[in-house]
Chain A
């Protein structure tokens, strides 16, 4: 029983990372029906941003002040990069075919990864992510839980709750919903559609960047190509939950995260593959995802 509990904690921590990333896929898809394949690379950029910030400023002042500052800086950095990518790579293609923006996203992904690889100080070799979060082992019923795990899950949960509130209970969230169903009608209401799209992109990117810090804190090896598998699983999470749905992204992330950890505990080699089996099953029986209901009316 205790073993199950421990696996559950591991599942939650992984699931909350997937959920944070899935949120970005879902926000962007929800608002402009685009699959931003470069999204998970923002997580890698976030992890490296925090890595370098700590290299430069680590040791100055107390960790209790430095770490939140690094997080905020990484968040802003992610939002900024997201804004720039949207502005220069995706916006010029808006209104063209879906394939055009899909290819642009692949291009952005290749560009970011290879640019990072060329940068002096980054390179292709993995780096050890610094210990930013306080690490104390807590003993619960004979099983060890690290304070890092608790902090990561708590931060992720707070961010997800914040997004949930932002999307459904604020004026800006209503604007996002309006833009997602009808851009022309939204601009006829005086909504600056381009601005809403930019902010949405930046929000998703900021979440991904923070996710980079959380990921690095749990699995402290970061490298330029780290986005690949994690990005895929987060994307699967978003689709399983119902892409375009905020709650769906959270649910999908938790399902994939918890499932992966449990499967890994007895059949590590097939757990990634089983993600896709689950995906296929969900898509067969509920093509719009578990909590997605509206995509069915979408015109392609």
Chain B
């Protein structure tokens, strides 16, 4: 079982409490989304799960093991991969090297090759550009590379932070197709989005975050038709 369970999590930057006592669960195989306005604490939450921020209080359990005190590079080892906001690809390395960097902790050379082929199969454009520097890719391609690099870690649970940010609607659709495809193959997805519409359409369950606390939760379908959510986040 690799369920992710967040209990009473508090994270703060100095005196600013970005996340205040949040609890939620992500079950194996699900797509769960955290939606909320800018500054609601979504990104901080993901950063705390992957170890980039230290929790002030509360716990993060993954498959029963406590991740709260582990440094980020150890959490990757446990099978959680975080695709950060703004892609954060290595602009000075080639597309190929970026992908290889994703497999940094793995020793299974044969499977790494297979996963590379798999990534190129999902994103044929990355194959065409595999010798190009990461920094020369377009925004959509960089997002694809960030996701592919995540696939290369072989993580069981993928945290995605704003994959739609700054992308053209067609590209966003393409990216979400891929997210669903990855999920169908058995990767659990925790998705953070400002674009609540597309997030709720693709997720199984959702949590609504406001100023660091969860104010609503439920199945994505129900929230999509919830009048309050529609008014606040979907603009209708």
Known: A174-B97, A185-B84. A190 touches B104 (CB 8 A): yes
CB of A108 to closest CB in B, whole Å: 26
CB of B149 to closest CB in A, whole Å: 7
Q: Which residues of A contact B34 (CB under 8 A)?
A: none
A181 touches B90 (CB 8 A): yes
B153 touches A189 (CB 8 A): yes
Given A174, A181, A189, which contacts B149 in the complex, CB threshold below 8 Å?
A189
Q: How far is the CA of A114 from the CA of B114 in the complex (A)?
A: 58
Q: Which residues of A contact B88 (CB under 8 A)?
A: 182, 184-185, 188
Any chain A CB within 8 A of the CB of B163? no
Q: Which residues of A contact B136 (CB under 8 A)?
A: none
Any chain A CB within 8 A of the CB of B73? yes
Known: A188-B50, A190-B104, A190-B153. A174 touches B93 (CB 8 A): yes
Within B141-192, the residues touching A (CB, 8 Å) are 149, 153
Instruction: Give B159's nearest chain A residue, CB to CB.
Output: A188
CB of A196 to closest CB in B, whole Å: 10
Any chain B CB within 8 A of the CB of A157? no
Q: Which residues of A contact B215 (CB under 8 A)?
A: none
Any chain A CB within 8 A of the CB of B72? yes
Q: How far is the CA of A294 from the CA of B93 in the complex (A)?
A: 13
Any chain A CB within 8 A of the CB of B212? no
Any chain B CB within 8 A of the CB of A198? no
Any chain B CB within 8 A of the CB of A191? yes
User: Which residue, of B101, B102, B149, has the highest number of chain A Cβ atoms within 10 A?
Assistant: B101
Give the total of B residues in contact with A, Cβ under 8 Å: 25
Q: How far is the CA of A18 from the CA of B50 in the complex (A)?
A: 42
Interface residues on A, range: 10 to 19
Of B17-25, B74-82, B227-235, the one contacting chain A is B74-82
Q: Which residues of A contact B97 (CB under 8 A)?
A: 174
What per-residue 1/0 map shows which CB atoms of B63-100 lie under 8 Å from chain A? Answer: 00000000111001100011010001111110001001
Q: Which residues of A contact B101 (CB under 8 A)?
A: 174-175, 178, 186, 189, 191
Q: Which residues of A contact B71 (CB under 8 A)?
A: 187, 192
Any chain B CB within 8 A of the CB of A255? no
A188 touches B92 (CB 8 A): no
Any chain B CB within 8 A of the CB of A132? no
Q: How far is the CA of A188 from the CA of B149 in the complex (A)?
A: 10
Q: How far is the CA of A191 from the CA of B50 in the complex (A)?
A: 13
Given A180, A187, A189, A190, which contacts B92 in the complex, CB threshold below 8 Å?
A180
Q: Which residues of B contact A182 (CB under 8 A)?
A: 88, 90
Given A177, A181, A190, which contacts B73 in the complex, CB threshold below 8 Å?
A190
Known: A184-B52, A185-B84. A190 touches B76 (CB 8 A): yes
Q: Which residues of B contact A193 (CB under 8 A)?
A: 73
What per-residue 1/0 map shows which CB atoms of A211-253 lie under 8 Å from chain B? Answer: 0000000000000000000000000000000000000000000
Q: Which residues of B contact A186 (CB under 8 A)?
A: 90, 101
Known: A188-B81, A190-B105, A191-B104. A177 touches B76 (CB 8 A): no
B72 touches A177 (CB 8 A): no
Q: Which residues of B contact A184 (CB under 8 A)?
A: 52, 72, 84, 88
Q: Which residues of B contact A177 (CB under 8 A)?
A: 90, 92-93
Q: Which residues of B contact A192 (CB under 8 A)?
A: 71, 73
A189 touches B104 (CB 8 A): yes
Q: How far is the CA of A182 from the CA of B93 in the complex (A)?
A: 11
* 14 A-B residue pairings within 8 Å (CB atoms): A180-B92, A181-B90, A181-B91, A185-B84, A185-B90, A187-B51, A187-B73, A188-B81, A189-B76, A190-B73, A190-B104, A190-B153, A191-B104, A192-B71
A-B CB proximity, top 3 nearest: A187-B72, A190-B105, A190-B76
